[in-house]
Amino acid sequence: MTDAGPDPPRGPGPAFFRRHPWLSAIGVAAAVGLAVSGAATYLIQRYATFPPPKGISDPGIVDAQQGERLWLDVGGDRVEAWFLPARHAPARAPLLVYSHGNAELIDNRAAEFGPLRDGGIGILLVEYPGYGRSGGSPSETSLTAALVAGYDWAINDSRVDPDRMAGYGRSLGGGAIAQLAARRPLAALVLESTFENFEDIVMRYGVPRRFLINHFNTRAVLEGYRGPVLLLHGSLDTLFDSRNARALAKAAPRATLHLSACGHADCPPQWELVRSFLARNGI
């Protein structure tokens, strides 16, 4: 038999803590504090990133817009998407994949795209997982997966020209569309009222960087994106300062920046500007 030597130190035993009960109390308090801090950090991020939508749910809008309701499989959850076909277009038309802001629903945006549809461009609106009638839970990962699922459906649909698919995202949706562009080829991007990096936004709430859950690093995506980018932003935006748009314009090799005298959620639609941008770039 080999002598393995004395047993290694095992730390203080129960008798030690019975003699020093205050150490046990400190340990319990520290564990409780960490648990509460972790829960608070998660809830702050969840509310700041994915607050309950304020818009009115009205699933009948898709029928009123002569659209088609789709159900995408996203990690086993059913996520809703609406396909609004182009009007007066050839059999295979361009498509704009759209992602809305974080307090909205696809129901609230569907009626706005008439000018683009009249111009021969189809629209695909993809809902956030866990929003409206969609299953799942919203996160950067699940929202990106939903957009990828919508893209993969569209590229195999005979009504869509796969070489003329572009992305349009507003506010948080701009960060999500950028993540789609990092994973699937998009011929152009339109980003409205979007940020450089969502980490910087959430850290304003006191969340340490090491605890961040969602990142949405839009700037990093645009640095590697070679297609044309149209950046729309309000010069009076106090949620995502217009410096975000200027920084994104510097990051994207083929960026066009358009500033309007408006805030974050009150900017008027710029459909003619979007149409001319897409037309100039063959979409």
* Confidence (pLDDT) at 16: 52
CATH 3.20.20.70 given to domain 50-280: no
Sheet of strand 93-99: strand arrangement: 68-74, 77-84, 122-126, 93-99, 160-170, 189-192, 229-234, 255-260
The confidence score (pLDDT) of residue 93 equals 96
Q: Residue 33 has what pLDDT?
A: 38
Structural contact between residues 195 and 222, judged by C-beta atoms closer than 8 angstroms? no
Burial of 70 (0-12, 13-18, 19+ CB in 10 A): buried
Q: In the chain, what's the furthest Cα-to-Cα distance? A: 89
8-state DSSP, 229: E
| Residue 111, number of CB atoms within 10 A of its CB | 12
Three-state DSSP at 16 gives: helix
Q: Where are the domains of the chain?
A: 15-48, 50-280
At 186, list the tokens: 């998009």
Which H/E stretch holds residue 34? helix 21-49
Provide the pLDDT for residue 45. 66
Residue 119 β-bridge partners = none
DSSP 8-class letter at 194? -
What is the per-residue pLDDT for 43?
60
- Is residue 243 within a helix (H) or strand (E), and if so which, with residue range? helix 243-251
**Token pair for 225:** 């994106």
The predicted pLDDT at position 14 comes to 55
| pLDDT mean by block of 10 residues, the chain; 283 residues | 50 54 48 43 70 91 97 98 92 96 95 96 98 96 98 97 98 97 98 91 71 87 98 96 97 97 95 97 95
